[in-house]
A and B are shown apart, each in its own frame.
Chain A
Amino acid sequence: METLYPLFTTGAINGNENFFWALIIGIVFGLILERAGFGTSNHIAPVFFFRNLRVSQIMVSAILTCATLLTIAVYNGILDFNQIFIPTTYIWPYLVGGALFGLGMVMSGWCPGTAVVGFATGKLDAAVFLLGVMFGMSVYFDNFDKIADFANSSNAGRLTIDKLVGGDIYTALIITVFIGIGLSIFMNVMKSIRDNKGEN
């Protein structure tokens, strides 16, 4: 069978059609995020206290669903996985960026995507958060020359799990499933420890 997907990168649809679909896909994401409860930071921040596992449950089930469907598409020969955009892995910048991100998230209660939904539904704190994000972007632009060396350090390329441990996409899927299950168990254990402490 011919690899037709991703439709845009194989040339099956043109740039304008891709932009049209971007709007449709965005609307679908927005609907799902709102129904998932991500329009309020009272559903987001509690994950860091192991009180409400909505965030981790949604993330793990979305990752496993999407990863499985992508693997099936590759198995059927309709998807060229090399044309899928995967960000380059920069080990140290990702560790530092991730640590800053976690701090920013528990401080603000938002991440950029959920804040768009919060803003759309009238949350003033989401609007202020997004102003902070834009201010922060401009601070980053103005100071990039000072941290460029660090930001581009420890470049590991387009590093996928199968390249790291050997094997193919099926190996990667199996490992991803195990990580997802492990994370879910960890979160549930932490939550039950927290609940049993009897703190209201």
Chain B
Amino acid sequence: MNKQKGYWNPIFAGIILGIALFGSFMIAGQGMGASGAFARITAELSFLYDGSLVDNAYAAKYLKGNALSNWTVIEVFGIFLGGYISAALAGRIKQSIDRGEDYPAFKRLFWAFVGGIIIAVATRLARGCTSGQALDGAATFSVGAWIFMLAAFGSGFFFANFFKKQWKGVN
């Protein structure tokens, strides 16, 4: 485990995350979010090139005002800052690509891109991701959060072997 030097014990990290999540619910009435911010950023950027997006069946709801003037968008900007500060203090800012030994970088980036596309569609169907749906939902006793998690982890276990070579320490 000395490979993870400088990282918190996972149970400790979870308890601290749970306390922060509680604080978020107590202040804003909502918890951690991520995918919604990217839906909004995409809507705002696309709108700059194509004004007709205001009539889009899905994106119209984001474009009633400035799509970026939103709690989750600001919070995600905070996650970026917090992640940067923490990594900088730990000396972990480094340009790199996470992948298994001998796995070609371009293949890794290709799967990262395709996975991103699939995840975007998944989060729109599921109204959120690991944070806004799974974590927040389960912490607030939502049945949907457990349906989502069951399906996501079941599918992850099922497809895992196809992507084995990409990762360190799974063989």
Contact = CB atoms under 8 A, between A and B. Distances in A.
Interface of A: 5-9, 13, 18-19, 21-37, 39-43, 45-49, 51-54, 57-67, 69-70, 73, 79, 81, 83-91, 93-126, 128-142, 144-145, 148, 151, 156, 158-164, 169, 172-173, 176, 179, 199-200
8 contacts: A36-B7, A37-B4, A61-B13, A93-B127, A101-B126, A123-B96, A124-B95, A137-B120
A39 B27 CA distance: 26
A6 B31 CA distance: 11
Contacts of B34: 111-113, 116
Contacts of B128: 87
A112 B155 contact: no
A114 B85 CA distance: 15
Contacts of A30: 78-86
Nearest to B151: A98
A64 to B, nearest CB: 7
B6 to A, nearest CB: 8
B112 A97 contact: no
Given A31-B83, A61-B14, A62-B15, A84 B42 contact: no
A94 B115 CA distance: 18
A75 to B, nearest CB: 14
A26 B81 contact: yes
A61 B152 contact: no
Given A59-B130, A61-B18, A120-B80, 5 more contacts: A5-B27, A57-B11, A87-B137, A100-B118, A105-B115
